[in-house]
Every structure is written in C-alpha cells, then in structure tokens.
A and B are shown apart, each in its own frame.
Chain A
C-alpha cells in the first residue's frame, strides 16, 4: 500500500513553478526528499498538507484523496517544520493540552513515554528548547496522535552531528513496525545515505529522480579524465567541472561508452545534487 501518492502536481508562481511533480512512498519506508534551497521541497510539502493551492494534480494519502478527506487524513499525518516555532513563550504542557484536543486517537500514555524517551521536560517553554528538542517535541505530538505518515520539512537542518544521529536513529526505529512512513526533506544528504530507503530528488521545481537509494546512485556515474578526453563525452555529460587535473563530470550510467578509458565512480547524493544544480546554471 502507498502511504503517499503524488500525481502530476503543478503550481505556478510568478518566478517559480512546480512542474509535473509525481512520486510515491510505500508504507513503512523512509523517503528522503532532496534538492537545493529553493528547489521546491517546501512548496511540494505544503501542497501535500493543503496549505498551498495547487493548479492541478492529485495527492493521495493512505489511499485517500487529500482534497476530499482533508480533516480525516490530517488525523493520520504528523508534521514538523524545522524552522518554524509556535507560541514559543508557552510551556510544552500548555501547548500539548491545546493540541491533543484536536485528535481523536490521542494517547496520553504514548505521549508521556515519548517525553521520557526524548528527555523533554513538559514544564519547559518552547523557547527554551534546542532545535533538536523542538523536532523531538513535534515527533512526540505526531506519534501520540497515532500518525501513520510523518511529513518533516528539514528536521535535521541546523542540528549538531550528535542530535542528527540521534534523530536518524529514532526515524529508523519508528518504521520498524511497518505502520509508519516518513517523508523528510533535507539538503544534508549524508542523513539520507544513513537512513533513507528511497530518494526523491527535486531541482528547479521538477522531479529529477525518485527511486530506491542505491538504484538512484547507480544510475549515475562520475567521470574524470584529462581535458583532452572531455570532448569525447562532453555532450553526454549532465554537467562538468574543470580543474587543474582535467575534468570531473556527471553522466547517466546508460550513456557511458563501455570502451571508454575514463575513470568512472559511483557518485554520492551530494555530487548528484551539485552537478544537477550546475547544469541548470549553465543553461539558464
């Protein structure tokens, strides 16, 4: 079953557009949603939550269309926005007491278990929490109302390596039962190397790739060689950089000439992102 099914999303702004965005997330998996700043990650996430009115396209969550079942589905969604704070001068306790009234499946026992687990003191004010703690608090809220789909916008950005590691461990634990699915956007690709099952890569409002993590990486190759060799492959390269040793460029694995003597390695997610961003720079 699909936890999230996005089909042909389009949204036009005066200076930016989301074009034909489609991707699917299987139930019980973690999908990393990557792209440079301004690539369209947050806009896509906001359209999933119906915060942005899309021009066309359909979004299904747990098999139901969000446009028709918004209230019902929001009971099943937990979300966290990394950089937005609400009522920061209020205590956790106060905010929870207000929030829990909205959810019919709220479970106090689960909530207190997570508070303990995340070492959150409910008498603290939101403003007193570190960024990592804030994300954990959002997770505690989401999990206590029985969210099946967690949509997290840059939950790890701005966190120190220890907190990030901790958070990624939590993500992996959450999906063990196969009930919870996570979509999280980030531009820190090392997080995804560690815990994502699927990767969706967005660039300039368009989905470049959406597939299993290793499959995605294997579908590209990083070529390097001398400047003279560049001419052999230049037209097949997605983009390339020239340095004093020659060139390095990204290419679709299928475009590689088997007889070529160029050195080819599997790129990291970071490198895929960088070379795609470079490609746009060249043609824009």
Chain B
C-alpha cells in the first residue's frame, strides 16, 4: 500500500498539483470573496486532470500487474486524494490567518474564514469524496460523470450553506456574529466537519472496494 501511494505521488500525480494548493491558497487574500471556491478548485482542476492522467497512462493495468491486492489499490488512491485535499485546506487555512490581519475591519457578505467555516469545507469535501470515489470505482477509469456529479453536489452544499448563513439569524450569528469569538464553538464545528469527512471517506472506501472487486481490467 505504501509503495502504491509512492507510485502515485512520484509517477501519477504531476508535481504541479502539489504547488496548486499554495497558489489557490493565495486566493484567500481576496477580501470578502466566496472562500468556498478555494477548496473547490481541487474538484475543478486537480481531480479531472489527475484521473485523466491515470486513465491515459494505463495506471489501472500497471497497478494490477504489481503484487498488490485490489483493496490496496483503492486504499492507496483514496489516500492520495485525501493527502491532496488536506494540502489544499491547510494551505488555505494558513493564508486565511493573513486575510484577517490584512483586513481587520472588513464586513463580510460571504463566510469569513473562521474555524467553523473550515468545518463546513471539510463537510463539502466529504460530500465530494463519497460521491466521486464510489462512482469512479464502478469502472475505475471513467471519471467524467463522477467528477460532474460530485462537484455539483459539493457546490450545492456550499450554496445552501452560504444561503443559510445569510438568511438564518441563528447560523449568521455562529459564523459572522458573536459565535466567531466562541473558540470552543468554532473548534467543535471544525472537529465535527473533520469527523464527517473521515466517516464519509471511509464509507466511500468500503463502497469503492466492493465495486472495484467486480471491475474487469481490460
């Protein structure tokens, strides 16, 4: 499994996709922007390009020829996706510290990037993972429909969450108002987001393995 992850990191994933999170993280410096878009760039750019590469380079055949189990093939690929997602979120989080310093008195229309907001981002990627990974492993090479469906779901979640933040006084208070000073509350939303992210990704893994076992490598 370790060898498969290293294979993907060294061979399958273009180094550019490790730099991209840092550049996308820079978008956090745009004052009052829709920050949900920053992690979404992972779904828009990295996912289709990376999986297109795997497909065109016959990675599936290559991996199957190695002495590894099919379960490990799935596990390692999901690990790589999660590693990249975490780099994206982490880079964006680090940049957001500077956002607050640069614009201390900004009035936010869209969510300000407090800890609670990052919790929502984890949930957004959790939804992306459960749909993308489980759909992709029906064939283990067709990534188009899986990318479209999962990205759409992630955007819908972001849209609904943002709408709630603007329309609902209760949600607004948590993410814009007095709730932002409540570190315990913000941290617990972040932790809840991470827990959902882990849970959804694990469920995705189980579905993917079950489907991949039936996949014929042609």
Contacts and interface: CB of A to CB of B under 8 A. Distances in A.
A52 B216 contact: yes
B3 A102 contact: yes
B6 A75 contact: no
A229 interface: no
A103 B65 CA distance: 12
Contacts of A102: 3, 66-68
Interface stretch (A78-86, A160-168, A169-177): A78-86
A49 B68 contact: no
A94 interface: yes
Contacts of B65: 49, 74, 79
Nearest to A50: B64
Contacts of B66: 74, 99, 102
A130 interface: no
A90 interface: yes
Interface stretch (B36-44, B54-62, B124-132, B203-211): B54-62
B6 A101 contact: yes
B10 interface: yes
A52 B7 contact: no
Contact of A98 (B11, B64, B216, B217): B11
A81 B12 CA distance: 20
Contacts of A79: 65
A257 interface: no
A249 to B, nearest CB: 37
Nearest to B9: A98
Nearest to B53: A87
Interface core residue of A71, A79, A98 (most chain B CB under 10 Å): A98
Interface core residue of B3, B11, B58 (most chain A CB under 10 Å): B11
Interface in A123-162: none
A229 to B, nearest CB: 47
A218 interface: no
B73 to A, nearest CB: 12
Contacts of A51: 61, 64, 216-218
B105 interface: no
B49 to A, nearest CB: 15
A8 interface: no
B152 interface: no
A98 B7 contact: yes
Interface core residue of B12, B57, B65, B216 (most chain A CB under 10 Å): B65
Given A84-B61, A86-B57, A75 B11 contact: no
Nearest to A104: B67
B184 to A, nearest CB: 45
Interface string A51-84: 1110000000000000000111011000101001
A19 to B, nearest CB: 18
Contacts of A49: 64-65
B214 interface: yes
Given A71-B67, A75-B67, A99-B66, A81 B216 contact: no
A72 B127 CA distance: 37
B188 interface: no
Interface core residue of B62, B69, B214 (most chain A CB under 10 Å): B62
A91 to B, nearest CB: 11
Contacts of B11: 87, 90, 94-95, 98
A88 B57 contact: yes
Interface in A85-115: 85-88, 90, 94-95, 97-99, 101-103
B58 A86 contact: yes
B67 A74 contact: yes
Contacts of B214: 53
Interface in B187-218: 214, 216-218
A30 to B, nearest CB: 21
A98 B63 CA distance: 11
Nearest to B217: A51
Contacts of A74: 65-68
Nearest 9 pairs of A and B residues by beta carbon: A74-B67, A51-B217, A86-B62, A102-B66, A101-B3, A87-B57, A75-B67, A98-B7, A71-B67
Given A49-B64, A51-B61, 19 more contacts: A46-B216, A46-B218, A49-B65, A50-B64, A51-B64, A52-B217, A70-B67, A74-B67, A81-B61, A84-B58, A85-B58, A86-B57, A86-B58, A86-B61, A87-B12, A87-B59, A98-B11, A101-B6, A102-B67
12 contacts: A51-B64, A51-B218, A71-B67, A71-B69, A75-B67, A79-B65, A81-B61, A86-B59, A87-B12, A87-B57, A88-B57, A102-B66
